[in-house]
Amino acid sequence: MGNWVVNPWLSVLVLATWLGLNVFLFVHAFLSYERDDKYYYTREILGSALAWARASARCLNFNSMLILLPVCRNLLSFLRGTCSFCRCPLRKQLDHNITFHKLVAYMICLHTAIHIIAHLFNFERYSRSRQATDESLASLLSSLSHQEKERDSWLNPIQSPNMTVMYVTFTSIPGLTGVIITIALVLMVTSAMEFIRRSYFEVFWYTHHVFIIYFISLGIHGIGGIVRGQTEESMKESHPHSCAESFKKWDDHDSQCERPQFEGHPAESWKWILAPGILYIFERILRFYRSQQRVVITKVVMHPSKVLELQMNKSGFSMEVGQYIFINCPSISYLEWHPFTLTSAPEEDFFSVHIRAVGDWTENLVKAFEQQHSPIPRIEVDGPFGTVSEDVFQYEVAVLVGAGIGVTPFASILKSIWYKFRHADKNLRTQTIYFYWICRETGAFAWFNDLLASLEQEMEELGKVGFLNYRLFLTGWDSNIAGHAALNFDKATDILTGLRHKTFFGRPVWENEFSTIATTHPKSAVGVFLCGPQTLAKSLRKCCHQFSSLDPRKVQFYFNKENF
């Protein structure tokens, strides 16, 4: 989590609160089922496995309640943009919504495993007690009839010694829904692995939507009432503390203890997931409504390296720098929506995205727009949604790091800066920008060259040459390119890009870059913004921590990473 560098105490507090609530709910439920007299007879059969199963179920419900909230994009955008209490440190926690979503998912997996293992012990003990002939209390309780006319008195869901655990599992509502929940969870977690999500996004996209089955099954999971406890009325007539030891005399007419009566534990999962479920339904309705608004494509540009630029208009569309939208192309897929960062500036009369063909969906989209004699495909747009890049102008010094197509949010930022300088915006707090763009191939620089060239000229005319410091790094190159660049090194412009700043070969040495920035700006707040891979994020996060001064009045680096 990137914000550990910025406000470690707040991130720790959020995580500690969440973990603390999990521990509290688990321990509270465990002790309740382990000590409550209502479940005295149930524990005679199941032992402590009952408490383990119910405690893990309580935590499962709690985390299932939370899992949808981090992916309610409109809610997060509302909190980010309109709620004053969410600004600054609190607002930054919203940037880690996907990280928190994953942590909650891991917690659900943990408690699912505990819940399943506990119930395996429970069913084994149910079966063993039902087959026992030792006249023990557990055996007597297991033999209580399911056919009782006056009251629902049974305690063991296995009705006869010949009934198998497998039969009960697949014929009872809790058993069958439990199997469905487990399968759905396995599919969602495995398809969300980094390799599958990056290489086979469609598999991740479709499989992740079995969460609908997961929540429906979870809502009805407890309806069968397999977990049972003694009724309050029965406890008044036959309290286990006074009657358990005399269980062999329950049927005697002169006995003061009657045979206990039991009732199923009421279903409670639906109570936990109802509110977030309704909130998420409203979220999806709002997304659907906005996606149906007409989008007019005003310009289509094919850039080198299979990069498609779409310039669009949409009624009522309003954006900030660094935001992103979701795009759907019905002619390719009715269900798939893919996120793309906006590359236009808020000051422009259109909004645009740059899409690189890196998967099946994006390749099909690029091909659809390349066909000159075919009608332009219809595009649906949902958004925009806020990101961490919106805060870029809150820092005196900004360091922008883009890897490949990850440069897109910074295109929006740099364009906005160009407009702010042209209109002499006096509210611009940022004094210096360091921009790093790391690419594998030279063609990727081409579509961004015009913007950088315009910024170069604008800064020179305004006498602010030092405002924008950019460095382009080429990581995929051969000896011919390097030799050609070396022979033309003395020229005023770069041989590869035509810009005044020379292209560097290889990767940046981040320790040297951060050291230079820290020396140049000894008393500044430096915002570091990354749109790129996790390995690069680790390096930058480490440097932010390493080069931030212990004195809060001196240079401080604040790490921010795009997550969507």
Structural tokens at position 179: 């199997």
- Three state DSSP letters for 345-400: CCCCCCEEEEEECCCHHHHHHHHHHHCCCCCCCCCEEEEEECCHHHHHHHCCEEEE
Per-residue pLDDT tens over the stretch 320-334: 888 889 999 998 888
Rounded to whole angstroms, how far apart are CA atoms 228 and 153?
10
Q: Is the pLDDT of residue 263 over 90?
A: no
Rounded to whole angstroms, how far apart are CA atoms 355 and 335?
19
Stretch among 83-87, 194-198, 254-258, 467-471 having the lowest mean pLDDT: 83-87
pTM equals 0.79
Q: Is the pLDDT of residue 550 over 50?
A: yes
Question: Which range, 76-80, 102-106, 255-259, has the best average confidence (pLDDT)?
Answer: 102-106
Band the pLDDT of 101: cuts 50, 70, 90: very high
Q: What is the DSSP secondary-structure string of 277-338?
A: HHHHHHHHHHHHHHHTS-EEEEEEEEETTTEEEEEEEETT----TT-EEEEE-TTT-SS--E
Rounded to whole angstroms, how far apart are CA atoms 395 and 434?
12
Domains and CATH numbers, the chain: 3-234+257-284 (no CATH), 292-385 (2.40.30.10), 388-445+454-561 (3.40.50.80)
Rounded to an integer, the average pLDDT of 192-198 is 84
Give residue 56's pLDDT.
96
Q: Which residues contact 417 (CB under 8 A, 6 or more apart)?
A: 428, 430, 433, 455, 468
Query: Contact at 8 Å (CB) between 321 and 392?
Result: yes
Band the pLDDT of 460: cuts 50, 70, 90: confident
Q: What is the DSSP secondary-structure string of 423-479?
A: TT-TT----EEEEEEEESSGGGGHHHHHHHHHHHHHHHHTT-TTTEEEEEEE-S--H
Rounded to whole angstroms, how far apart are CA atoms 64 and 87?
27
310 strand-pairing partners: 300, 353
% of the chain surpassing 70 pLDDT: 84
Pairing, β 503-505 against β 525-531: unpaired
Before 384, cis peptide (omega within 30)? Answer: yes
- When comparing pLDDT for 56 and 231, which is higher? 56
* Largest interatomic CA distance in the chain: 111
% of the chain surpassing 90 pLDDT: 26
Per-residue pLDDT tens over the stretch 533-545: 888 888 998 999 8
Give residue 494's pLDDT.
57
- When comparing pLDDT for 407 and 102, which is higher? 102
Q: Which amino acid is at 236?
A: K
Sign of the four-CA dihedral 153, 155, 161, 167 = positive
- When comparing pLDDT for 480 and 91, which is higher? 91
Rounded to whole angstroms, how far apart are CA atoms 290 and 224?
40
Q: Which residues of 3-35 are buried (b: 16+ CB within 10 A; e: fewer)?
A: bbbbbeebbeebeeebeeebeebbeebbeebbe
Give residue 84's pLDDT.
45
Per-residue pLDDT tens over the stretch 60-95: 999 999 999 999 888 887 777 655 444 555 667 777
Q: Is the pLDDT of residue 47 over 80?
A: yes
Q: Which amino acid is at 446?
A: A
Band the pLDDT of 563: cuts 50, 70, 90: low
Sheet containing 380-385: which strands, arranged edge to edge?
A: 338-341, 324-328, 380-385
Rounded to an integer, the average pLDDT of 418-436 is 78
Rounded to whole angstroms, how far apart are CA atoms 415 and 348?
9
Give residue 89's pLDDT.
59
- When comparing pLDDT for 288 and 253, which is higher? 288
